[in-house]
Chain A
Amino acid sequence: MAIEVRVPTILRVYTGGQKSVNAEGDTLQAVITNLEVNYPGIGGRLLDDSGLRRFVNVYLNDEDVRFLDGLNTSVGEQDAITILPAVAGG
């Protein structure tokens, strides 16, 4: 079961420059664990001891996972995950 994960420019050093990679897992946590297997180093840029890093936003089909179930959010085959750094608006 492959889930599309869109990777921001700043993290593409870990994905060989790929904008989008496939990962497996039935929760966001499992997907990130799987990403780390194939793209070593990326996991540590996304997570710290407390969970998702403060300036990392992750969206499941455009919805911020912090307002779903965080790392426990269920993901399925039709889903797309987008990772973006937090930036200023206004």
Chain B
Amino acid sequence: MRFDSLLQSVGHTPLIGLPRLSPSSDVRLWAKLEDRNPTGSVKDRAALNMILQAEAQGLLRPGCTLLEPTSGNTGISLAMVAKQRGYNLICVMPENTSVERTQLLTMWGATIITSPAAGGSNEAVRVAKGLAAQNPDWVMLYQYGNEANAQAHYDSTGPELLSDLPEITHFVAGLGTTGTLMGVGRYFRDHKPDVQIVAAEPRYGEVVYGLRNIDEGFIPELYDASLLTSRFSVGPLEALKRTRQLLEIEGIFAGISTGAILHAALGIAKKADEAGQVADIAFIVCDGGWKYLSTGAYEGTIEEAETKIEGQLWA
């Protein structure tokens, strides 16, 4: 496949059947390999579209500074796009993320401001909103509330899935900014409304939920619960176990959040199989495992790996 520039190659990712993890020939699992994007994650789609939309709205000038709260992947994608388009990027990132994320952000020219581990991304959002208020000339694209994030998936991920898998019955993805699920969910509501949209939400260690008050919780502005069929919380042990199964059984080397998504997908597959239904379940491989090698997720027993990622933002 030929493209005129790197940015034009975002998306168009392969959909790979998982013959050995699928329960039967009637209930099949399909992995959409978003690690095949330029920076190796699904976030390239949202980052590119947010910047293109901001340009179209006249919000960006050459040399201007973007600011974004991110636990990593969105920041890396924005850094790559910003460098191509001539902008600076400042990321506010929780300190409890993998060292590779910092290395990659720095490599693509971003500046990093760390936020405290306690409270996870909530803290990063709070710090970034404070900085945005103090620096009115900086542009915060704000992935959690920017419609261009979800729209990227309405315009690309959704159509790619329907084109490659017209018989699709379920779509499973991770719930972070909610952009992937909202965009793909809306696309299927408009084009194949019987497709079930399933969210897999990572359940982190306790430090990440260390809010001072329950009213300090956070729900992304993009989130519309009416687009989802169900929502599952997946802990680190299950996520690690599935991440390793995906590698051992199907040869796909994915990051830990993908394991959480696969766990939910396998649960749905099992139910469909037991009910004698036909199902084609597509799920998102958010990124490859490269960025998580330093976490110890792929070494020793699952329990040892769980201890190592305790307190980390692994998704």
Contact = CB atoms under 8 A, between A and B. Distances in A.
Contact of B121 (A54, A64, A67, A87): A87
Contacts of A67: 225, 228-231
B251 interface: no
B: contact size bracket: 35 or more
Interface in B81-110: none
Interface string A41-55: 000010000000111
Interface in A58-79: 59, 62-64, 66-67
A45 B232 contact: no
B303 to A, nearest CB: 18
A34 interface: no
Closest 7 CB pairs of A and B: A55-B217, A89-B176, A88-B121, A64-B231, A90-B176, A90-B177, A86-B217
Interface of B: 69-71, 73-74, 119-122, 124-125, 143-144, 174-177, 199, 201-204, 206, 208-220, 225, 228-235, 315
Interface of A: 8-11, 45, 53-57, 59, 62-64, 66-67, 82, 84-90
19 contacts: A8-B209, A10-B209, A10-B214, A11-B214, A53-B214, A53-B215, A55-B218, A64-B232, A66-B225, A86-B219, A87-B119, A88-B144, A88-B176, A89-B201, A89-B202, A89-B315, A90-B69, A90-B73, A90-B144
